[in-house]
A and B are shown apart, each in its own frame.
Chain A
Amino acid sequence: MQSVAAIETVFRQERARVLATTIRVTNGDFDLAEEIVQEAFAAALARWPTEGTPAEPRAWLISVARNKAIDTIRRRVKLRAIVAAEDPVDAVAASELVAVPDDRLRLIFTCCHPALAREAQVALTLRTLGGLTTEEIARAFLSAPATMAQRLVRAKSKIKEARIPYEVPEASQLAERTDAVMAVVYLVFNEGYAATAGDAWFRRDLCREAIRLGRLLVELTGDCEAKGLLALMLLHDSRRDARTDAAGDLVLLEDQDRATWDRAQIDEALVLVPEALRAATTAGPRGGPGPYALQSAIAALHASAPRAADTDWPQIAALFGELMRRHPSPVIALNHAVAIAMWRGPAAGLPLIEALKQDLTDYHLWHAARADLLRRLGRTREAATAYRGALARVGSEPERRFLERRLAELAGEREPR
């Protein structure tokens, strides 16, 4: 006798794989496949409690879904009264479907196909691979459910009508297409990690979902940059309990209680980081470590320092330097300047930050970083002005409260003359 809860657990685990394979049978018709997978699960709910759970639940679900798909397609063709010269179903044998390594890889590449807009890629990935409802995806991206529903309908229709292939890309395009998948996964993670609107528990789920997708990508491709991405997400997420205090206020990395960091997650990541870096330098098609591998190495150095004072700033500055060389951007340059300031002192970092003024004058963290260095140099009045500059541009509430606290503390200090 199988409980409904136990069956639902099987569904949650198997849904993406069963769906991925069913989409192949329906020839890229996502809607039909989703409908059929739902029916297959309903059939399991009706039969497993009395007949017992099959020895291989996934194989059972896939073969039921396959048969339903074939029936439906045949029925549709008959309804249209077309005399088909050949069987409309390119009858894939049930045994072949189950033996295939994993159709989720086809699914993930199709969802993240470059012919789809980024927002559509994200929504489709969360819907099909993550099993999130349209309402949940809308909530994650603070958009109306109707808008999100339409986005999904359009994306699925484009896959079907423009015939976006349901395939793993060929070798020559694999690295580029994997980059697109990683961008989607990291976007989902950041939506959960960085955004401060919406309820905290839901955002935590979003991070967990991104990590799950990251794990899947590593498992399916073995790509070294994917390992870097997974490590980076694990390391950021390991600090989830330490990043805010009981009042919901921001706690800076240097002030966090390192005992609350998730050790198991850090250990998992610390194995991945050298693999990501090493594999990338020797063979990878990208010629050298990619941005995720380098960022994960930086996050690993933070995670490995027993106390904030033990942080290996020279090494972190060197890694940011490498990132800047390979993937130049003003925000990376800002991080590099901050690392230099932590290593050689605020006087060494300040000119580097000043040099970025033109590019980052609208970015609140440029003002905040500059304010921090001025504060540490005892240039209180200039620091206060810079904090006000940051406050004028900050978007999130906890960050605003943090900057206001810093500004208030400054008022208590007197500028040496």
Chain B
Amino acid sequence: MQYLLLIYDNEKVWADMSPEESGKLFAEYMTFSKEIRASGHLIAGEALQPVHTATTVRTRDGKTTTTDGPFAETREQLGGFYMINAKDLDEATKIAARIPSARLGSIEIRPVQQFDQPGSMR
């Protein structure tokens, strides 16, 4: 079963950190990623550029509009993600709780939809 772990952080908290603090967190992320790769849970994972680099695209009636910024302004911003393999929600929850940002912001766990028909999405 695949789960997407969406990492929500307050960017300002990161920006206000001393280099020592953010360096320590970064090292924790490296260790965590290494651990879940070794345990076979990791499928993919990336950190994202801050939301001020975001662009939102919509196509309506064949016309595409782009706007600056994310889809919704919130106190916490999507800052990165992990795609993992886990036995069930309990295992996914345990892994999500180990993400360093779980202590600062929050992690949203979303099960990946499984399609039985070959070729529908994958």
Contacts and interface: CB of A to CB of B under 8 A. Distances in A.
A256 B87 CA distance: 56
A167 B90 CA distance: 10
A162 B111 contact: yes
B116 A163 contact: no
Interface string A108-121: 00000101000000
Interface in B72-106: 87-90, 93
A21 B93 CA distance: 26
A161 B87 CA distance: 13
A80 B88 contact: no
A161 B89 CA distance: 10
B1 interface: yes
A80 B88 CA distance: 24
B89 A115 contact: yes
A107 to B, nearest CB: 16
A78 B52 CA distance: 50
B39 interface: no
Contact of A165 (B89, B111, B117): B89
B93 A165 contact: no
Contacts of A115: 89, 93
A13 B111 CA distance: 36
A164 interface: yes
B116 A80 contact: yes
A163 B93 CA distance: 11
B116 A164 contact: no
B88 A165 contact: yes
A169 B89 CA distance: 12
Nearest to A82: B116
B37 to A, nearest CB: 22
Contacts of B87: 165
A80 B111 contact: no
Interface residues of A, number: 11
A164 B88 contact: yes
Contact of A163 (B88, B113, B117): B88
Nearest to B111: A162
Interface in A166-181: 167, 169
A164 B117 contact: no
Contact of B111 (A82, A113, A161, A169): A161
Contacts of A164: 88-90
Nearest to A160: B111
A167 B117 CA distance: 29
Interface string B16-58: 0000000000000000000000000000000000000000000
Contacts of A82: 116
A163 B2 CA distance: 10
A88 to B, nearest CB: 11
A162 B89 contact: yes
Contacts of B111: 161-163
Contacts of B1: 163
Nearest to A114: B93
Contacts of A80: 116-117
A80 B120 CA distance: 13
A165 B109 CA distance: 15
A390 B113 CA distance: 53
> Residue among B90, B113, B117 with the most chain A CB within 10 A?
B90
A165 B90 contact: yes
Interface in A315-362: none
A115 B1 CA distance: 17
Nearest to B114: A161
Contacts of B116: 80, 82
B73 to A, nearest CB: 26
A113 B111 CA distance: 16
A165 B91 CA distance: 9
Interface string A43-85: 0000000000000000000000000000000000000101000
> Top 6 closest A-B pairs, CB basis?
A165-B88, A162-B111, A163-B88, A164-B89, A162-B89, A80-B116
16 contacts: A80-B116, A80-B117, A82-B116, A115-B89, A161-B113, A162-B89, A162-B109, A163-B89, A163-B111, A164-B88, A164-B89, A164-B90, A165-B87, A165-B88, A165-B90, A169-B90
Interface of A: 80, 82, 113, 115, 161-165, 167, 169
Interface of B: 1, 87-90, 93, 109, 111, 113, 116-117
Given A161-B111, A164-B90, 19 more contacts: A80-B116, A80-B117, A82-B116, A113-B89, A115-B93, A161-B113, A162-B89, A162-B109, A162-B111, A163-B1, A163-B88, A163-B89, A163-B111, A164-B88, A164-B89, A165-B88, A165-B89, A165-B90, A169-B90
